[in-house]
A and B are shown apart, each in its own frame.
Chain A
Amino acid sequence: GNSVTQMEGPVTLSEEAFLTINCTYTATGYPSLFWYVQYPGEGLQLLLKATKADDKGSNKGFEATYRKETTSFHLEKGSVQVSDSAVYFCALRKNRDDKIIFGKGTRLHILP
């Protein structure tokens, strides 16, 4: 079946460090891929998305590229801030009317 695997946390970095959170997926066909973020005390928010191979999603300095050959959608940011501390979820959706399948989440702590 369809699934998402992401690196376990917590991930702890110093401010201005480079961030990578790995995500790989298993799915037939060409799913859409997402990163969602959950800030402390808040609901899930869409961070970025990509709908086809080689697409790059970007938002708030975060980027992720849809790699069909490696079935990956790794999240990156060049210089993290304390305000980026949150839980990040990688997710996929087979088609526009289907459910979103989430990974288990990666908690990120950024130290000042």
Chain B
Amino acid sequence: GAGVSQSPRYKVAKRGQDVALRCDPISGHVSLFWYQQALGQGPEFLTYFQNEAQLDKSGLPSDRFFAERPEGSVSTLKIQRTQQEDSAVYLCASSFPLRSGANVLTFGAGSRLTVL
């Protein structure tokens, strides 16, 4: 597609519920990143895929957070047993790795999660 598409745009969950957030990257983009942006803060890295391989998951805050990209395209971020501190905007970004220079990440509009 023309851009990075994320769904749902807004999600309200009761504490303890599981949620799944979807990211559809730009076609052909190999690299995919998930970030968490709390209100008034900068995006914080969660995890990174290159194709279907999850190369870095050091930013996932707990084992309740799980991400997958089984076919190297669409990715899903799953949060189990949601807590109020999980309330944030979850951003997905993708890029095509260049041999040189700085790869530019293209971000989606984000999924805003509110946990009540």
CB-based contact A43/B110 at 8 Å:
yes
Main secondary structure of the interface of A (DSSP, over half): strand
Q: How big is chain A's contact interface, by range? A: 20 to 34
A-B contact count (CB 8 A): 57
Closest to A99 in B: B45
B101 at the interface (CB under 8 A from A): yes
Main secondary structure of the interface of B (DSSP, over half): loop
| A106 vs chain B, min Cβ distance (A) | 10
A31-82 at interface with B (beta carbon < 8 Å): 32, 34, 42-46, 49, 51
In Å, the complex CA distance between A104 and B38 comes to 10
23 contacts between A and B (CB under 8 A): A32-B101, A32-B102, A42-B109, A43-B109, A45-B107, A46-B104, A49-B104, A51-B102, A89-B43, A96-B98, A96-B100, A97-B31, A97-B55, A97-B97, A97-B103, A99-B45, A99-B48, A99-B56, A99-B59, A100-B45, A100-B93, A104-B42, A105-B41
Question: Could you tell me which B residues sit within 8 Å of A by CB distance?
Answer: 31, 33, 35, 40-45, 48, 50, 55-56, 59, 91, 93, 97-110
Question: Could you tell me which A residues sit within 8 Å of B by CB distance?
Answer: 32, 34, 42-46, 49, 51, 89, 93, 96-97, 99-105
